Amino acid sequence: MFYFLVIFVAVLLMIIAIQKFNMHPFLVMTVISVLVGLVCGIPSEKVIVIIKNGFGSIMGNIGIVILCGTIIGTILEKTGAALTMANTILGLVGKSRSVLTMAITGYVTGIPVFCDSGFVILSPISRALAARSNISLAVMATALSGGLYATHCLVPPTPGPIAMAGTLDADLGLTILVGLVISIPATLAAYLYAKYISSKIDIPANPEFTVEELVEKYGKLPGALHSFSPILVPILLIAIKSIGDFPSAPFGNGAVKYFFSFIGNPVIALILGVFLAMTLIPGSEQKNVLDWVTEGVTSSAGILAITGAGGSFGAIIQKLPIADVISSSLMGMGVGVFLPFIIAALLKCAMGASTVAMITTSAMVAPMLGAMGFTSSLGRVLIIMAIGAGSMTVSHANDSYFWVVSQFSDMSTSQAYKCQTGMTGVMGITTIIVVYILSVLFVH
């Protein structure tokens, strides 16, 4: 209980410092991380090492992805390609369905692509669609974030679900199928939250140029296929890599697999996306290529600093014996699928990392499947879905995804709590209710 009290106070102080005293989130989270480590008894020298490693680890995972994503976004916006994509999507689905389209795009993209990377890649479309549809950027960002988050937490081949399937000895094909189905109500919950809650927060999309200004400057906007290529090609390459990593080894274990594993790595895929984006720059603007790339790199600095500090905070939290405390407190409770959900949700809230919450919870409940009555093929899969639901609940300040969404969507911290944290809470509760109903109908 002591550790949870410390984490609660830390998050509360973080919010007050950022909102009330207008302090930069990077400084606040770094200082809070040090204080939490010291208060919880971690030796001072080890606290510093953990903070440095946590910052470096998250930068190693998504730092280059964020840099490349902001460069791509800058070029897409300045060349008018983002507006071309927005016009194309709106022409196909209409303005009235643009938010739903963004949620579905996230749902599909989140299957092969990490939610952090997916949001960075798709944020230019989110911003352009918000501008063309006259809708708050908060609405588009919430819908996109929720769609990505649903399949990220519930559908292999993302690392968390696929690791749970291995730990619980579940059928991978059935896990994918059930995950895809259960992700639908989760995504729908995010869409409705975006439409009716996030819509109360007005965040202008603030595109740098209007359509008329770009047409006057360049003569015409880039074509649709060319405009989409810097986003679709990286997503496709990452998806192919994910397929190749399936246990069935569809590409074998030779040169073909290694080739797709290399070019499908998010870092390589996004670097290729940067060079594809450069092909959108008209000849008259080639002299500005360095300036545009530099602008993208510069604009990512704040995002990188905040995301890295979030990684430091999460690393400190993960060193606390939270899993042991939860295990001893909850393992005796006979609450069916709600047990793994509660454990995963507590771990997620405390540590911030969905994947860590999934892997830890699945290892904790694996010996209990027989006692819980979930040893059938479907029963094991539903336990995975329950853990996935818990790992959604909720995304807040100790989660790097929280800061990626807020910083790429111009949200203040309080706005991000209303949009991202509130939405993930609703998604998690919706998902566990669906899982419980399925367990009643088909397992017990």
Confidence of residue 218 (pLDDT cuts 50, 70, 90): low
Helix (H, G, I), strand (E, B) or coil at 281: coil
Mean pLDDT, rounded, of the chain: 86
pLDDT tens-digit map of 31-65: 998 999 999 999 999 999 999 998 998 788 778 88
Percent of the chain surpassing pLDDT 70: 93
pLDDT at residue 54 in the model? 87
**Which two tokens mark 324?**
């042991």
Read off the pTM: 0.75
* Average pLDDT rounded to a whole number, residues 218-235: 84
Higher pLDDT, 298 or 302: 298
User: Does the structure show a pLDDT above 80 at 200?
Assistant: yes
pLDDT at residue 139 in the model? 97
pLDDT tens-digit map of 241-278: 878 887 778 888 889 999 998 998 888 998 999 999 99
Specify the DSSP element, H or E, that contains 370: helix 369-372
Spatial distance between the Cα atoms of 300 and 39, rounded to a whole number of angstroms: 33
pLDDT at residue 332 in the model? 56
> Smallest Cα–Cα separation from 315: which of 16, 24, 61, 18?
61
* Average pLDDT rounded to a whole number, residues 169-194: 92
* Average pLDDT rounded to a whole number, residues 369-380: 87
Q: Considering only 48-52, 100-104, 123-127, which range has the smallest mean pLDDT?
A: 123-127
Confidence of residue 334 (pLDDT cuts 50, 70, 90): low
Counts for the chain of helices (H) and strands (E), in that order: 23, 0
Spatial distance between the Cα atoms of 141 and 197, rounded to a whole number of angstroms: 12
Give, rounded to a whole angstrom, the gap between the first and last alpha carbons of the chain.
33
Q: Considering only 236-245, 256-265, 378-387, which range has the smallest mean pLDDT?
A: 236-245
* Average pLDDT rounded to a whole number, residues 224-234: 88
* Average pLDDT rounded to a whole number, residues 394-400: 87
